[in-house]
Amino acid sequence: MRANHWWMTGCCVALLALAASRLAAGDLPNPLRGPTALKDEPAAPPIAAIEDKDVKRGRAYTGQPPTIPHDIEKYEITHNVNMCMYCHGRVRNAEFGAPMVSATHFMDRDYDFLAEVSPRRYFCTQCHVSQEEVVAPVKNTFMDVDQILERERASARQADGKP
Ligand code: HEC
Ligand code: HEC
């Protein structure tokens, strides 16, 4: 037990020393921060342009809130008005060709349906974001479940010696 304890402490000290030396060298890999030294404040990047192409994007996983394919700058969401529901609500969605919010948006936390959009879903932009013209600063290695299953099948085939 005791030996284990010392071993752990030794490891922590070594890691800290390594981190400190890299900090001093200013070479911590951080694509979000860029080359700015830790003691300096980097300039905020410009706000990205909204794509506004009216093209729905696929979803990466079950339960992903779809991204917004249009500009929303002028659509107010306040205590008195929710402009999103003007088009996406049950009454006028057909008129605007807007997809109606799904049933989950009318459920309270006991999964009972309400007549109006649920307070849990009132502030749309809490979950939905506009599509923007951006280059991801960090490479995305996300794999959806089908890709993971396919990879597993491929490695199982390989283990069996099958092509
Ligand atoms: C003037 C009507 C209108 C208003 C207001 C509006 N939308 Fe839309 N929305 C549309 C239409 C039409 C589409 C279908 C795609 C397109 O034409 O852009 C759409 C598509 C979407 C989609 C894509 C759904 C999917 O399945 O991919 C989301 C999410 C969305 N809107 C969210 C919002 C949010 C959040 C707001 C408020 C900030 C809002 N919309 C306000 C008309 C509207
Ligand atoms: C708590 C997160 C959350 C909030 C807040 C929220 N949504 Fe959603 N929304 C989702 C998720 C998750 C989905 C996809 C799964 C589903 O339908 O529940 C979705 C789906 C949608 C869709 C696509 C429906 C379909 O059947 O294709 C539209 C349109 C939409 N939301 C609009 C809105 C609008 C307008 C608001 C504000 C009144 C809003 N959402 C608020 C999470 C949210």
**Ligand 2 pocket mutation, candidates 85, 90, 121, criterion most atoms within 8 A of CB:** 121
Taking a C-beta distance cutoff of 8 angstroms, is the pair 81, 93 a contact?
no
Backbone dihedral angles phi then psi of residue 130, each to the nearest 5 degrees: -70, 150
Q: What percent of the chain has pLDDT over 90?
A: 60
At 2, the amino acid letter reads R
Ligand 1 touching residue 33 (CB < 6 A): no
What is the model's pLDDT at position 25? Answer: 53
Instruction: Give this prediction's pTM.
Output: 0.83
Report the distance separating Cα 44 and Cα 65, nearest Å.
Answer: 27
Query: 131 CA distance to ligand 1 centroid (A)?
Result: 11
Closest ligand 2 atom to 121 CA? 5
Longest Cα–Cα distance of the chain, Å, equals 73
Q: What is the pLDDT of residues 101-124, one digit of tens each?
A: 999 999 999 999 999 999 999 999
What the block records as the tokens of 79 is 């205590």
